[in-house]
Chains A and B, each alone.
Chain A
Amino acid sequence: MKPAGGAPLLIMRAVGKTFSNGVTALDRVDLTLREGDFLSLLGPSGCGKSTALRIIAGLSSPTTGVLDWRGPPLAQTDIGFVFQEPTLMPWASVFDNVWLPLRLKGVSRREATPAIAELLERVHLTGFENAVPRELSGGMKMRVSIARGLVTKPRVLLMDEPFAALDEITRFKLNNDLLELWQDERFTVVFVTHSVFESVFLSNRIVVMAARPGRVFEEVEVDAPYPRDEVFRTSADYAALCRKTSDVLGRAMDAPALTKAGAFDGIH
C-alpha cells in the first residue's frame, strides 16, 4: 500500500498564535492536511506543536491566519482528541468513559453498546468494560483514551504525545495497534511527538518544527509502504529515514531564533 494522502482536508494559512503575555507560540504556519494523512508534528519542546494541535481542535483560536476546512462542514463529532495523559474520568467505568462523547450527544447506553463493544475489541479491551481506570495499566488506559477518541467515528484524530509516558514495549505495541486501526478506518491523524523514531514509524509525513517562535521548519516525506510492522522497525530503510529526520530535527534545533520583526538575529 502506498503512503496515504488524498484531497486536502485542512489548509492552514499563516496561522499564528501570540499569548497575552507577549509570547509568540506559533508564527505564520502554512500547512496542508490531506485526507488519510498520518501527519506527525515533530520538534523540541516549546516549538508550538501542542499549540498548533489545540488550534486545529478548536480549543484555541489563532491570532493570525485562517483554518480552511474542506469537504462537508465540520461537525463536533468530526474531531477526536487524545491527550498526553489518558485523561479518563476516574469514577467511571471503561465503558462509560468511552461512551462519554456519544452520551454528550444524547446517544443512550443501549444505542451505544454495539459500537462501543466493537471498538473495545479493536483496542483489545474486551472484558474490561466494567473496570475503573485505576484498575488498568498505563497502556490500557491509553487504549481506552484512543477508543474514546474514535467512538464518534471522527474524520480527524488529533493526538498530543499520547505515548510519551509509556514504557518502550507498551509504546511499540500501541504504535502497531494504532497503525492497524488507522489503515482499517481511514481517518486522518495529526500526531504530536518529540520522538524521531516514533514519528518515522507511524507517519507518511513529518512536519519538523523549530522553536522561538514556533514555526514549520521543514517537511519530511516518509515514503515507506504500509503496513509497517516489526520487520520495518528493524530495517535499513527505517534506520535511514530516522537518520534523515534526525538531521532535519538537528538543523531545526540549531536554527537561529527569529526576532519579533521576523528578521534573523544571526550575529551574536
Chain B
Amino acid sequence: MASIDQSAPVPLDAEEMRRLRAARLERIGKWVLPLAIMCLAIFLWDRIVVWNEIPHYILPRPVDVLRALIDDRELLFTSLLTTLRITGLSLLLAVVGGVGLAVLFAQSKWVEMSFFPFAIVLQVTPIVAIFPLINIYVDNQTAKLLLCAWIVAFFPILSNTTLGLNSVDRNLRDLFKLNGATRWQELWHLRVPAAMPYFLGGLKIAGGLALIGAVVAEFVAGSAGQSSGLASRIIESGYRLRTARLFAALMLISLTGIVIFMTLTWISHMMLRRWHESALKQER
C-alpha cells in the first residue's frame, strides 16, 4: 500500500508540499474543530442563561447539569445500566433473529416471498402504536421492553443480511455448483462471507435503533410501570422540574448512542479492513 515516507530526502514540488500540508492540517482539524465548536456552544449556552436570567428549572446552566451528573450519579448510573442492558440484550436478540430469519429466507425463495411482508408490516407500524397491545399480553416489564426494542432493531439486520446473502457473484455460485458444494457449504463458505459487509451495515443501524427502541418503550411503559431506566428518569425529572437532572440523563443517552455507534463501526472496520472497499484507505 502506498505510504508516504516523510523522512525521505526527496525534494517535493510546490504542489505536493501544499497537499502534504493540507493533509496534516486536516488531520488536526478533524478533532480540533468539532471540539472547539462544542466548547463555544456550551459557553454560549451558559452566557444566554446568565444574560437573560433564565430560571434553572427552565434551562439550567452547563455547570448545573454537571453538578446534577455528579450529585445524582448513583441514581443515574443505575438507570444507565438498566437502559444499557435492555439495549444490549435486544440488539443481541435482533442479531440472532435477523440473521436467523435471513438465513432461512436464503434457503428458499418461497419462504422469503411468504414471510418477508410480515417483517415489513412489523417494521412500518410505529412501535408506540403497538405497545398498548404488548402491555396487555406481556406481564414481565423487562420482557415488554425487550420485545419493543427488538421489533425496532431487528428489521435492518434482517433486510440487509437477506440482501447480502443474495448478492453473491453468479460465477462464484457456478464454481461452487461445479465443485459439488452442498447447500450448507455454499452458505458457509460463500454466502455468509459475502453477506458480512451488508450485515455489519445493518448492525450499525440496528445498534442505534435498539437504544431508541429501549428508550421509547420505557417512555410508553414508564407511565404505567415501575421501570427505572434513563427514560423514566427523564420523565420523573420533568414532572419534578429537576431540569438539570433531565439534561444529565439526556446527555448519558446521547453518549451511549455515540459509544454504541463507534464500537460497531470499529468492529465493522476490523472485520472488513483487509478486503472490502468500504474499509480501505483511499489510495491515489
- Chain A residues in the interface with B (C-beta under 8 A): 57-59, 76-77, 79, 81, 83-85, 87, 89-92, 100-101, 103-105, 132-134, 152
Q: A91-B193, A91-B196, A104-B185 are in contact. Are A58 and B172 (CB under 8 A)?
A: no
Report A-chain residues with C-beta under 8 Å of the C-beta of B175.
Answer: 81, 83, 87, 100-101
CB nearest to B192 among chain A residues: A91
Total inter-chain residue pairs, C-beta < 8 Å: 56
Give the CA-CA distance A103 to B176 in the complex, in Å. Answer: 11
Instruction: Answer yes or no: B276 CB below 8 A from chain A CBs.
Output: yes
Instruction: Answer yes or no: B26 CB below 8 A from chain A CBs.
Output: no
* Contact call B190/A104, Cβ cutoff below 8 A: no
- Annotate B148-174 by CB proximity to A: 1 below 8 A, 0 otherwise: 000000000000000000000101101
A-B contacts, 15 listed (Cβ < 8 Å): A57-B178, A59-B177, A77-B179, A79-B178, A81-B174, A81-B178, A83-B175, A84-B171, A87-B172, A89-B172, A90-B275, A91-B193, A104-B176, A133-B275, A152-B179
- Chain B residues in the interface with A (C-beta under 8 A): 169, 171-172, 174-181, 185, 189-190, 193-194, 196, 274-276, 280
Report A-chain residues with C-beta under 8 Å of the C-beta of B196.
Answer: 91
Give the CA-CA distance A162 to B174 in the complex, in Å. Answer: 16
Query: Shortest CB–CB separation between residue B233 and chain A, in angstroms?
Result: 44
* Contact call B189/A104, Cβ cutoff below 8 A: yes
CB nearest to A57 among chain B residues: B178
Report B-chain residues with C-beta under 8 Å of the C-beta of A100.
Answer: 175, 179, 189
Q: A87-B169, A90-B276 are in contact. Are A101 and B179 (CB under 8 A)?
A: yes
Select A132's contact among B177, B189, B275, beta carbons within 8 Å: B275
* Contact call A59/B178, Cβ cutoff below 8 A: yes
Report B-chain residues with C-beta under 8 Å of the C-beta of A59.
Answer: 174, 177-178
Closest A-B pairs by Cβ, 4 of them:
A87-B171, A76-B180, A83-B171, A91-B193
Report A-chain residues with C-beta under 8 Å of the C-beta of B276.
Answer: 90-91
* Contact call A89/B193, Cβ cutoff below 8 A: yes
CB nearest to A77 among chain B residues: B179
Report A-chain residues with C-beta under 8 Å of the C-beta of B169.
Answer: 87
Select B190's contact among A77, A79, A89, A133, beta carbons within 8 Å: A89
Select B179's contact among A83, A85, A91, A105, beta carbons within 8 Å: A105
Give the CA-CA distance A132 to B181 in the complex, in Å. Answer: 23
Query: Shortest CB–CB separation between residue A94 and chain B, in angstroms?
Result: 12
Give the CA-CA distance A83 to B178 in the complex, in Å. Answer: 12
* Contact call A132/B179, Cβ cutoff below 8 A: no
Report B-chain residues with C-beta under 8 Å of the C-beta of A58.
Answer: 178
Report A-chain residues with C-beta under 8 Å of the C-beta of B190.
Answer: 89
